[in-house]
Structure 1
Amino acid sequence: MVRAPCCEKTGLKRGPWAQEEDDILVDYINKNGHGSWRSLPKQAGLLRCGKSCRLRWTNYLRPDIKRGPFTAEEEKLVIQLHAILGNS
């Protein structure tokens, strides 16, 4: 069995995201929620694949993503957990 393709590859934009596309995606998700990632690009007016939109939101645009270096407390916790659990 072969899995159905996630989207029609022709006519989709590939490569780096433009700031305008980011703004459209964030505005759409803030107003409507993400719901179905497969249908989101068409409803939002983006020429991107649903998977691309989902990954962009999850990894870069979500407002609760913490950026920057670890705090001293977080670093201490990582070291303690590594001592207990090792590399697993």
Structure 2
Amino acid sequence: MVKAPCCGQFGLKKGKWTDEEDQLLVKYIQVNGEGSWRSLPKNAGLSRCGKSCRLRWTNYLRPNLKRGKFTAEEDETIVKLHSTWEIGGLQ
């Protein structure tokens, strides 16, 4: 079985994003906000599917995206939550 192309459209660009595409996406979201990812590519002048735009924004371009090591507080929260977990659910 063959997987359908993203958003059901052929001829969309795949692969590595260019700096120009990143700039178009960021500029569009700064002006219009996050919203209809399906219509965003056409409105922003991108030859990508909406899912690709959403994932690029969410995983790489968001201004509040945190990268790097966990803070001590985050480590503590992870350990605390992990210690409450048993096979089959929470204690």
Contiguous gaps of at least 5 residues in structure 1: none
Q: How does 1:9-88 map to 2 (within 5 A)?
A: 9-10=10-11, 12-86=12-86
Contiguous gaps of at least 5 residues in structure 2: 1-5
Distance 2:40 2:33 in 1: 9
Distance 1:37 1:7 in 2: 14
Kindly tell me the number of residue pairs found equivalent between the two proteins: 84
Letter of the structure 2 residue corresponding to residue 19 of structure 1: D
Q: Identity of aligned pairs, percent?
A: 61
Greater fraction of residues in strand = 2
- Provide the TM-score with structure 2 as the length reference: 0.81
Distance 1:67 1:43 in 2: 30
Provide runs of 4+ in structure 1 moved above 3 Å.
Answer: none
Distance 2:86 2:71 in 1: 21
Superposition RMSD in Å:
2.0
Query: Counterpart in 2 of 1:6?
Result: 7
| Offset of residue 7 of structure 1 | 3.7
